[in-house]
Structure 1
Amino acid sequence: MAEELDEDTLAFAHRMFDLARGGQTAELATQIDAGLPVNMTNDKGDTLLILAAYHDHPETVGALLARGADVARTNDRGQTALAAAAFRRSVESVTALLAAGADPDHGSPSAAETAAFFDLPEMLALLGGDTPDTR
């Protein structure tokens, strides 16, 4: 049975997710360097990396990657940070995520499928193909 978190701990966790959403890189990096788990997830399975990518904060994405954030993690809907970055048309975040080993065909929908669905040819090209892999 999972242990319940107290109000202060929950408030702290919410603040950390807000830092990722808001692109407050320095404060978030300080917390991770002090022991905050870089792959912490919220109640929807979103990681700090997914939130930073979705809210188009490439500097925060880079800081999280430098601290070992897992590029393959998916949220509860199967979405990855790479798919979020592609959706937001963030060339800098997509490039950083790919360099860190993110797979354009991982997730559901994958980054490649997301780019194809939303007709983002520049993202498809950056992801390495003209069409998503539909294996």
Structure 2
Amino acid sequence: MRQFMCVALLCIASSVAYANPPADPSADTQGQLRALFFEAARDGRQDMLTEFINAGFDLNVQDDKGYTALILAAYHGQQGAVTQLLNAGADPCAKDLRGNTALMGAIFKGELSIANQLVAADCAPDQRNNAGQTAAMYAALFHRKDVLDALAAKGADLNATDAMGNQVQSLERGEFQPLQPSR
């Protein structure tokens, strides 16, 4: 069955390539495989993810927005895929192009069991995105008290300030400083 899935993945990628032959066929096949990998993570297709994992596919490959399969699975509430990817060695600390992590995405979307699983991962509790925001700030802003408590227990700095001057306590109260437009 596994051999069939690997062959099937390659056949799907190849059939798409035959419809519009690329200048560099190997590059296009890799692009199609990446697209299938991200789709499998987003949709929670653990059977397909197993095939990618068994084939030694790079679990930390990023799309054009910097999303990894783990970030996509977490954001889309795919608990089983998140667990599978973490167990296979996907980097829970990876950031997208805006500096957001899978944990930040799970907090934003209200995927609390996934967020708690990611809090337990071996990442610094105060990773910041490009705006200087931490996961604790996300948890405070979106009233994810259990996640905020777990981050505090892990050592998150609840006094950290983002680029706009926001802190966990003010965000928790619903008070925040919006990003000012550049002049």
Q: Normalised by the size of structure 2, how large is the TM-score? A: 0.64
2:40–2:49 CA contact under 8 A, matched in 1: yes
1:104–1:127 CA contact under 8 A, matched in 2: yes
1:23-34 alignment runs, 5 A limit: 23-34=44-55
Structure 1 residue matching 2:125: 3-state secondary structure: coil
Rg (Cα) greater in structure: 2
What corresponds to 2:12 in structure 1? none
- CA distance in 1 between counterparts of 2:81 and 2:28 reads 26
In structure 1, the gaps of 5 or more residues are none
Q: Normalised by the size of structure 1, how large is the TM-score? A: 0.84
What corresponds to 2:78 in structure 1? 57
In structure 2, the gaps of 5 or more residues are 1-23, 162-183
RMSD after superposition: 2.2
The size of the alignment, in residue pairs, is 132
1:115–1:123 CA contact under 8 A, matched in 2: yes
Runs of 4+ in 1 over 6 A off after TM superposition: none
Shift of residue 131, structure 1, vs aligned partner: 7.9
What corresponds to 1:47 in structure 2? 68
1:82–1:102 CA contact under 8 A, matched in 2: no
Please say which of residues 87-96 and 14-23 is displaced more in the overlay: 87-96
Describe the superposition over 1:83-116 as per-residue Cα deviations: whole angstroms up to 9, x where unpaired.
1111222232122222221333213232111112
What corresponds to 1:134 in structure 2? 160
Shift of residue 80, structure 1, vs aligned partner: 0.3
